Structure 1
Amino acid sequence: MSTPLPPFPKRQESSDEPVLMELTAPDDAPLRADAARNRARLLEAAARLVEEQGVAKLTMEGVAIAAAVGKGTVFRRFGDRTGLLMALLDHTEQRFQAAFISGSAPLGPGASPVERLHAFGSHALRQTSEQLDLYLAAEPDASRRFTSAPYRVRFMHVCMLLRQASSGSGTDIELVAQTLMGYLDPALIGHLTRQRAMPPERLESGWRDLVDRTVGPRLA
């Protein structure tokens, strides 16, 4: 049974974005310092192998060899290959989260909500396109897709920006946010860039147009 989404943070005059960082690993207990170092070491080895050989060739045994640990250590830490890929994706996502939570404008605080939505989607599209194989390989099954930590953080960030822009317009924030998130789906990005040969710049322009048509005229 999938875990329900937590309630949306209430709109505040000051930024409530630090709340989102708590969702990066909602089900994990805090790691001991040595366990955290070992986990980081394994993820660094996995990231290096992905960069050198590609996601398709990433194996638990290969990560163990690269990190100079037993294969059982990798399985105990991540469970299986999908768990490893999800952890690697979350490791990548945390840098993006830091940028839109506390980075410079327009991605971070300091710009209007619509400008930040423009920047958020463009950055997400570029990052997903550049690491598409990882995003596709780590895509959770249907029952977990909308409750995975990376998705929830992005979704709640979009909800927050929509709420800041809405000014009590009565718009269904959750449904608008889900519509926008659908545009950033890795499978769709893969289809458009690989099967339809669309350049990333076209997707970014389409994102800005979608934000302006769906959000700007009614909420800005």
Structure 2
Amino acid sequence: MDGPTLAVGKPRGERADAARNRILLLDTARELMAEQGADKVTMDGLAARAGLGKGTVFRRFGSRAGIFQALLDDEERALQQEILSGKPPLGPGAPPLERLVAYGRARVEFLFEHREIARASLDGGQPIPAGNELPVSRLHIRMLLGLLKPAVADLDVLAVQLAAALDGPLLLMLPVTGADVTRTRDQLARGWTELVERVCG
């Protein structure tokens, strides 16, 4: 039986008008990205296209990176839903080792599919592009490790180490372009499979 996995939820206690503005701004940001690329999306441009005041955009997101963090969070919810109730092996119903392999491969795929948004979500004010911690990822990995019971001294430490192997900002620092993107993505997915099978198999 699978243990609990935390879902990424929408903001709590959000007023109806604030919710409408959030949806409008995220949809508008996606439109601008499709037209111009993520590097050309600005707070001013987003406010103008959405027909809202610049102050509204700043209150909603706080910074340019905040726009992309919100977009990434939106995409993350879809992946989280697959983990919670999707088809195995990513979703419930598969043996825990298969689920752990599938989870890592899905995160690598997710990151490369959304790499433009993920890069733009990094806060330039940070001294190191470490990004935000993904506690949901670590908790899901820890839950699966608890079912697998690998022969290690500390499952919590192993969960942290495995989650770090899927850390988005660090993978996004890899200098890959063009055809190298697909090759690197596939290499990382294979590397994850080999890692967890050796540690937990």
Q: Structure 1 residue 173 and structure 2 residue 155: aligned?
A: yes
Partner of 1:10: none
- Say which SS state the counterpart of residue 92 (structure 2) adopts: coil
Q: Cα deviations across residues 12-52 of structure 1 (Å, max 9, x unaligned)?
A: x56422xx12x557xx5420222112111111111222233
Structure 1 residues 189 and 170: alpha-carbon distance in aligned structure 2, compared to 1, 3 A threshold: closer
Please, which of 108, 113, 116 is the counterpart of residue 91 of structure 2? 108
Matches within 5 A, 1:75-114: 75-114=58-97
Query: Structure 1: which 4+ aligned runs deviate by more than 4 Å?
Result: 142-148
Please, which of 40, 50, 53 is the counterpart of residue 33 of structure 2? 50
**Matched residues in 1 for 2:62 and 2:136: separation?**
23
Partner of 1:4: none
**Structure 2: 5+ residue runs without aligned partners?**
none
**Matched residues in 1 for 2:38 and 2:78: separation?**
20
Matches within 5 A, 1:115-194: 115-140=98-123, 141=126, 148=133, 151-166=134-149, 171-192=153-174, 194=176
Partner of 1:16: 4
Normalised by the length of structure 1, the TM-score is 0.78
**Matched residues in 2 for 1:171 and 1:44: separation?**
47
**Matched residues in 2 for 1:47 and 1:102: separation?**
27
- Say which SS state the counterpart of residue 108 (structure 1) adopts: coil
* Aligned-residue RMSD, C-alpha: 2.6
Q: Cα deviations across residues 146-190 of structure 1 (Å, max 9, x unaligned)?
A: 764xx11111111111112218x5641221112212222234433
Q: Identity, % of aligned pairs?
A: 38
Structure 1 residues 80 and 188: alpha-carbon distance in aligned structure 2, compared to 1, 3 A threshold: closer
Partner of 2:47: 64
**Structure 1: 5+ residue runs without aligned partners?**
1-12
Q: Cα deviations across residues 52-110 of structure 1 (Å, max 9, x unaligned)?
A: 32221111112112222122211111111122222121111111111111211111101
Q: Is the 8 A contact 2:88 2:94 kept in 1?
A: yes
